[in-house]
Amino acid sequence: MRLMVITGASSGVGRATALRFASEGYAVCALARSANKLDELVVEAVGKIYPYPTDVSDSQAVERTFAKILEEHGKIDVLVNNAGVTTGGRPIDFAMIDRIIDTNLKGTLYCTFAALPSMRQNGGGHIVNVASIAGVNISAQGDDGLYIASKHGVVAHSEALGRLVRRDGVLVTALCPGGIDTPLWNDENPYPYDEGMMIQPEEVADLIAYILAQPKRTLFKNVIFVPVVEQW
Ligand SMILES: NC(=O)c1ccc[n+]([C@@H]2O[C@H](COP(=O)([O-])OP(=O)(O)OC[C@H]3O[C@@H](n4cnc5c(N)ncnc54)[C@H](OP(=O)(O)O)[C@@H]3O)[C@@H](O)[C@H]2O)c1
């Protein structure tokens, strides 16, 4: 049985992806801060989802969780770094800077380096980083330079690390989507285009499934996909 670890599994893209892969026979280790939402996910799943409530911005918590996953499951085939937060249009102060960088960028790095030794030891694996169009483009996201900086960091690191670890059989893909119909958008932080045109979370899960199904001779490095209504 292949083992996937996915962060941000309690909502949106992470939730859809966890359900999709569990239904396809993966053992899915689901990480998020909300234990209750992870428990609901386990109940809803057709297949095996194992909840690991974890704050990915806490390096020690990440270390403990991955040690537990490896103790309980023995290996990690796929890591999906998906947990992410936005400013939600709120003003930027030092606490907000910590929150965005610690979750989006450092959380991705912590989980990556917690998973890599096992992947290398087992002859390979795949790391899928859910970045954003904000990881490759600046103008489309208005003034939210903090989110843009965090996602540019994720894309840059994916590319640099990917070159290094490819020789160990580990592939690294950065997904760079535009607007997806998830709770990340809400009344305080509305999607600025036609909501009916947004990408659906299940479509992102489909894309991840397609990428993982490809022969290991082909690397999908950065995959950019946006609703056609977005001015990009
Ligand atoms: N929606 C879009 O338009 C869009 C576009 C481009 C890229 N993205 C990216 O897609 C990813 C998924 O976002 P989404 O749209 O699915 O948003 P979402 O519905 O708000 O889900 C975000 C997930 O991240 C988790 N999370 C947040 N902070 C965390 C932390 N410190 N530790 C662990 N988990 C944490 C949340 O769970 P808890 O609150 O329970 O921790 C939740 O499961 C994000 O990286 C986002 O930047 C989204």
- CA distance linking residue 172 with residue 218, whole number of Å: 11
Distances (CA, A) of 72 to 21, 29, 76, 100: 19, 10, 11, 31
The overall average pLDDT reported for the chain is 96
The tens digit of pLDDT for each residue in 80-115 reads: 999 999 999 888 999 999 999 999 999 999 999 999
Nearest CA to ligand 1 atom 45: 84
Q: Which of 170, 72, 33 is nearest to 112 (CA)?
A: 170
Q: What local confidence, expressed as pLDDT, does residue 149 receive?
A: 96
Residue 19 and residue 9 in contact, taking contact as beta carbons nearer than 8 Å: no
CATH code at position 189? 3.40.50.720
Number of domains in the chain: 1
Q: Is 147 labeled as catalytic in the residue annotation? A: yes
Give the whole-number percent of the chain exceeding pLDDT 70: 98
Ligand 1 nearest-atom number relative to CA 185: 1
Ligand 1 nearest-atom number relative to CA 33: 41
- Planar angle of CA 161, 10, 13, nearest 5 degrees: 60
**pLDDT for 141 beyond 60:** no
> 219 C-alpha vs ligand 1 centroid, how far in Å?
25
Question: Does the residue 59 lie in any domain?
Answer: yes
Distances (CA, A) of 176 to 55, 100, 168, 179, 190: 23, 17, 25, 10, 20
Query: Residue 27 sits in which domain range?
Result: 3-225
Q: Which of 57, 11, 67 is nearest to 36 (CA)?
A: 11
The tens digit of pLDDT for each residue in 153-201 reads: 999 999 999 999 999 999 999 999 999 999 999 998 899 999 999 999 9
Facing residues of 78 across strands? Answer: 4, 126
pTM: 0.98
Q: Which of 10, 7, 11, 17 is nearest to 202 (CA)?
A: 17
> 114 C-alpha vs ligand 1 centroid, how far in Å?
20
Residue 207 and residue 223 in contact, taking contact as beta carbons nearer than 8 Å: yes
Question: Does the residue 67 lie in any domain?
Answer: yes
**pLDDT for 232 beyond 80:** no
Q: What local confidence, expressed as pLDDT, does residue 142 receive?
A: 55
- Phi and psi (nearest 5°) for 181? -80, 85
Q: What local confidence, expressed as pLDDT, does residue 143 receive?
A: 56
Question: Does the residue 230 lie in any domain?
Answer: no
Residue 172 and residue 129 in contact, taking contact as beta carbons nearer than 8 Å: yes
Which pairing describes strands 170-177 and 125-130: parallel, antiparallel, or unpaired?
parallel
Catalytic choice (50, 52, 147, 191)? 147
**pLDDT for 140 beyond 60:** no
The tens digit of pLDDT for each residue in 45-72 reads: 999 999 999 999 999 999 999 999 999 9
Facing residues of 80 across strands? Answer: 6, 128
- CA distance linking residue 89 with residue 108, whole number of Å: 23
**pLDDT for 144 beyond 80:** yes
Question: Does the residue 231 lie in any domain?
Answer: no
137 Cβ closer than 6 Å to some ligand 1 atom: no
Question: Does the residue 197 lie in any domain?
Answer: yes
184 Cβ closer than 6 Å to some ligand 1 atom: yes
> 116 C-alpha vs ligand 1 centroid, how far in Å?
22
> 75 C-alpha vs ligand 1 centroid, how far in Å?
25
